């Protein structure tokens, strides 16, 4: 539904965007190809559940990056869509007995709806005020998740069944579930890539660089901002809904404000405004959290140190630096 | 990522294996909070307690090669369930021990049933583990919120604290604790004169405490946990509430919390626990050994990890294998356990371990002879009275 709007607003961009070669550049094609081959082999190299977690967070960070990196909007409440969708998807699978793909869609739709309401109200403000408004709404969603009867309070929704995909293919096995998650997240990331490189994405970048100029060129800036906000919330929701199917639970961790902070960290560390940065950032952070778990409180300290080093030495993030060396956008 | 501690040297195992013709590999995973709010009451101490159980059971001498691994679930159910799955799938763990934080415990209980492992839960309080989400592979050893509510609510009311005022954390856990305790208070002829809900988590309890003070209640029940309880007690002490004659009753509190508050602040507080180090010779002796290894006195969660592991190892030895988790739990349910720390204990059909609970009062600083001399025992609550009756559909011994 959201894309129809983009199409309707699209034609105007023809005179704005510089002429670009049609389709995906070879370099990106190659990277996506290698990534796909790597991901197909991954469940046989590492523990599949861990790999699925990384992919869910990669999609989450990529969705956040659409808003921050390409829309220039710093939301500090993305946990609301991620966690909100995971609650709805978990409830749909457990109580309504929906199949996994329908549960994920239900969660995603809920996130889109949430994004529409919160987005419509928060894009009226800019900068720090925008961030604070989104944070305030996210805290409301956290409160609701704690209090509403269907969420199970601080216990969360537990023992969500792993159903049969389309009612046919059983997903109880880790490997078959892995390929379902791979399809969802990889598809989601390709879709985000397409959005960024569409005429709609060009207008977004224009707004990010110089909003008054975009207004003077005749763009309805608020409409673009709302749309990118909803899209970002939707894909964050897709990631959260998928995560709830992987872990078979939805809990307060996913709606907590620290989750909103984590996704900012992943995006900045990997490289804001790059396609592959959020994926690298998410993989780095999740791997650290997983393999340094025994160090306890040191994990957050190490994360903080890495973040400080990142900001001081390579402000464009890991992929941003590589992209500068290669002199190609990644 | 995981800390590995191997037991029973290869030579010892070989010698024992030759003698007993029994050579069973057992891997125990201690999964708890090692860095957050529950690190003191569970954490490394539970690993120490589990190790003591393996030594005291003389596992190596009985042909059991026991390995203990541990990890930090950071009180996050997704991290906890990820570790639990990995332990069962990759590391060959046979039983998971401790698991505080109800949300994590419930997630691990499901995975344990799916993988036919054993969950020996000591740290979590949710009654759902043996009720709404009961599983044939779960043993819930130490306490649950219903037992704490029964203990504190019933015993304090019978001891003359008839008018109650509740200070309740405003979320599901607080509500259920309040509801359980209210029911017990009324059953024992008490009266609830009021209650107030505070946001979770909360820093400032002054207005709530003033309400409680003005309510004319004999007892102020703290239906909250962790930092909230500690903050409420500190501020109550500043207001001089206990000195003015009202009693404070904490519904979920551990000896380590009282220790960090100090007797000065916590004096007069009523609370229920399943174990206290200074109860009898056996607990004193065990706790002294524990303190030597760990540097602090054990909590009931540590004691539970020890005793549950002992009972588990006995069942494994009897069956001669650690593979079939459901069978081991069924075996544990058959045994009449006379435990050094918990006394007579019976694991019920639903996995709930039934043992006595005790109501304690925190000593005044003048009566306390040392930093850990904190409690005075007021009464004993028998296991049948303390724990909720078993639900029929959760009695796995029938099937």
pLDDT, mean of residues B345-366: 94
Q: Which CATH architecture has domain B3-143+279-354?
A: 3-Layer(aba) Sandwich (3.40)
Q: Which of A 83-142 lie inside 8 A of B, CB atoms? A: none
Chain B nearest-CA distance from A113, in A, is: 25
Chain A nearest-CA distance from B35, in A, is: 5
Q: Which residue in A47, A147, A159 is closest to B86 by CB distance?
A: A47
**Quick check: B35 contacting A, CB < 8 Å?**
yes
- Sequence-ordered list of residues with C-beta below 8 angstroms from that of A199, at least 6 positions apart, any chain: A10, A11, A13, A14, A17
Give B340's Cβ-side CA count (13 Å radius): 18
Helices (H), B138-262: 145-149, 155-158, 172-187, 206-214, 226-238, 255-261
**A66-115 confidence digits (pLDDT tens):** 999 999 999 999 999 999 999 999 999 999 999 999 999 999 999 999 99
Q: How buried is residue A5: exposed, middle or buried, by Cβ count under 10 Å (0-12/13-18/19+)?
A: middle
Calculate what percentage of chain B has a pLDDT beyond 70: 94
- Interchain pair A158, B82: CB under 8 A: no
pLDDT higher than threshold 80 for residue B290: yes
Given pLDDT bands bounded at 50, 70 and 90, which one contains residue A294?
A: low
Helices (H), A95-172: 100-122, 127-147
Q: Which residue in B70, B90, B103 is closest to A155 by CB distance?
A: B103
Q: A3-7, B125-129, B268-272: which range is least confident on average?
A: A3-7
- Sequence-ordered list of residues with C-beta below 8 angstroms from that of B88, at least 6 positions apart, any chain: B111, B112, B115, B117
Cβ-based contacts of B128 with chain A (< 8 Å): 155
CA–CA separation, A266 vs B221, rounded Å?
43
Neighbours of A52 (CB within 10 A): 25
Chain B nearest-CA distance from A324, in A, is: 35
A28: helix, strand or coil: helix
E strand or H helix that includes residue B137? none
Direct distance between the N- and C-terminal alpha carbons of chain A, in angstroms, rounded to an integer: 28
Calculate what percentage of chain B has a pLDDT beyond 90: 68
Cβ-based contacts of A153 with chain B (< 8 Å): 171-173, 175
Q: Chain A residue closest to B113 (CA)? A: A159
Cβ-based contacts of A155 with chain B (< 8 Å): 102-103, 106, 126, 128, 172-173
DSSP B131: T
A vs B: CB pairs below 8 A: 95
DSSP string, B261-327: H-HHHHTT-EEEES--TTSSHHHHHHHHHHHHHHSS---HHHHHHHHHHHHHHHHHHHHT-SS-HHH
Angle at B389 between CA B385 and CA B392, to 5 degrees: 165
- With tokens 């979920």, the residue in question is B252
**B160-201 confidence digits (pLDDT tens):** 889 999 999 887 788 888 988 999 999 999 999 999 999 877
Q: Which residue ranges make up each domain of chain B? A: 3-143+279-354, 146-273+357-385
**Quick check: B200 contacting A, CB < 8 Å?**
yes
Same fold? B3-143+279-354, B146-273+357-385: yes
Cβ-based contacts of B72 with chain A (< 8 Å): 293-294, 296
Q: Which residue in A153, A249, A292 is closest to B78 by CB distance?
A: A249
pLDDT, mean of residues B267-295: 94
Question: Global pTM?
Answer: 0.82
**Quick check: A209 contacting B, CB < 8 Å?**
no
pLDDT higher than threshold 70 for residue A14: no
Given pLDDT bands bounded at 50, 70 and 90, which one contains residue A22?
A: low
DSSP string, B144-167: -HHHHHIIIIIHHHHTT--EEEEE
- Interchain pair B77, A174: CB under 8 A: no
B15/A318: higher pLDDT: A318
**A138-181 confidence digits (pLDDT tens):** 999 999 998 888 888 778 888 888 888 888 888 888 899 999 99
pLDDT for residue A268: 92
Q: Which residue in A47, A147, A154 is closest to B173 by CB distance?
A: A154
- Interchain pair B110, A159: CB under 8 A: yes
- Interchain pair B171, A146: CB under 8 A: yes
pLDDT for residue A15: 41
- Residue A46, preceding peptide bond in cis (omega within 30° of 0): no
- Interchain pair B78, A251: CB under 8 A: yes
Four-way CATH pick for B146-273+357-385: 3.20.20.80, 3.50.50.60, 3.40.228.10, 3.40.50.2300: 3.40.50.2300
pLDDT for residue B295: 93
Cβ proximity of A158 and B103 under 8 Å: yes
């Amino acid at each position: 539904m959201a894309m129809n709007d983009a199409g309707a607003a699209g034609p105007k961009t023809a005179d704005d965007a510089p002429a670009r070669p049609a389709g995906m550049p070879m370099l990106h094609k190659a990277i996506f190809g290698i990534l796909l081959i790597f991901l197909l082999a991954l469940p046989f190299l590492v523990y599949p559940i861990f790999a699925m977690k990384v992919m869910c967070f990669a999609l989450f960070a990529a969705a956040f990056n659409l808003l921050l990196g390409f829309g220039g909007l710093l939301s500090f409440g993305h946990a609301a869509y991620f966690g909100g969708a995971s609650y709805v998807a978990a409830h749909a699978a457990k109580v309504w007995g929906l199949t996994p793909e329908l549960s994920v869609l239900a969660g995603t739709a809920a996130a889109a709806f949430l994004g529409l309401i919160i987005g419509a109200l928060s894009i009226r403000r800019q900068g720090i005020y925008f961030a604070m408004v989104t944070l305030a709404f996210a805290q409301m969603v956290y409160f609701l998740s704690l209090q509403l009867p269907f969420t199970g309070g601080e216990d969360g929704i537990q023992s969500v069944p792993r159903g049969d995909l389309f009612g046919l293919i059983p997903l109880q096995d880790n490997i078959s579930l892995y390929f379902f998650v791979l399809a969802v997240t990889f598809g989601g990331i390709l879709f985000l890539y397409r959005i960024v490189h569409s005429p709609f994405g060009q207008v977004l970048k224009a707004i990010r660089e110089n909003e008054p100029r975009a207004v003077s060129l005749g763009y309805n800036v608020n409409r673009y901002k709302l749309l990118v906000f909803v899209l970002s919330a939707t894909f964050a929701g897709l990631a959260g809904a998928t995560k709830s199917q992987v872990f078979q639970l939805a809990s307060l961790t996913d709606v907590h404000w620290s989750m909103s902070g984590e996704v900012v960290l992943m995006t900045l560390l990997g490289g804001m405004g790059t396609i592959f940065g959020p994926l690298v950032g998410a993989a780095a952070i999740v791997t650290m959290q997983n393999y340094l778990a025994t160090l306890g409180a040191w994990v957050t300290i190490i994360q903080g140190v890495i973040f400080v080093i990142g900001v001081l030495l390579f402000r464009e993030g890991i992929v941003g630096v590589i992209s500068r060396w290669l002199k190609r956008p990644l | 990522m995981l800390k590995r501690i191997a037991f029973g040297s290869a030579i010892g195992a070989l010698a024992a294996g030759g003698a007993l013709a029994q050579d069973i590999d057992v891997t125990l995973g201690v999964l708890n909070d090692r860095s957050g709010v529950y690190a003191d009451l569970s954490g490394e101490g539970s690993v120490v307690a589990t190790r003591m159980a393996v030594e005291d059971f003389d596992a190596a001498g009985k042909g059991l090669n026991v390995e203990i691994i541990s990890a930090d679930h950071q009180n996050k159910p997704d991290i906890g369930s990820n570790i639990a799955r990995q332990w069962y799938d990759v590391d060959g763990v046979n039983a998971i021990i401790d698991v505080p934080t109800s949300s994590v415990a419930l997630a691990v209980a499901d995975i344990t049933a799916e993988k036919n492992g054993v969950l020996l839960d000591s740290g979590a309080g949710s009654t759902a583990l043996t009720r709404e989400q009961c599983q044939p592979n779960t043993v819930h050893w130490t306490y649950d919120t219903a037992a704490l509510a029964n203990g504190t609510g019933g015993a304090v009311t019978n001891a003359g604290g008839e008018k109650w005022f509740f200070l309740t954390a405003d979320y599901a856990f607080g509500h259920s604790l309040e509801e359980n305790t209210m029911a017990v208070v009324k059953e024992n002829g008490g009266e609830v004169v009021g209650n107030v809900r505070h946001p979770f988590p909360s820093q400032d309890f002054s207005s709530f405490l003033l309400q409680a003070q003005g309510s004319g209640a004999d007892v102020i029940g703290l239906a909250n946990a962790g930092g909230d309880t500690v903050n409420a007690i500190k501020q109550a002490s500043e207001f001089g509430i206990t000195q003015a004659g009202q009693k404070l009753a904490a519904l979920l509190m551990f000896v380590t919390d009282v220790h960090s508050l100090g007797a000065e602040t916590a004096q007069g507080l009523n609370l229920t626990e399943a174990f206290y180090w200074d109860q009898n010779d056996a607990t004193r002796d065990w706790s002294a050994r524990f303190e030597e290894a760990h540097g602090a006195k054990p909590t009931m969660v540590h004691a539970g990890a020890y005793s549950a592991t002992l009972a588990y190892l006995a069942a494994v030895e009897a069956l001669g294998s650690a593979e079939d988790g459901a069978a081991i739990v069924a075996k544990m349910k058959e045994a009449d356990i006379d435990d050094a720390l918990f006394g007579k204990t019976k694991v019920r059909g639903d996995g709930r371990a039934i043992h006595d609970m005790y109501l304690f009062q925190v000593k005044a600083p003048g009566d306390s002879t040392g930093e850990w001399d904190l409690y005075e025992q007021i009464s004993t609550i028998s296991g049948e009275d303390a724990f909720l009756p078993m639900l029929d559909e959760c009695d796995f011994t029938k099937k």
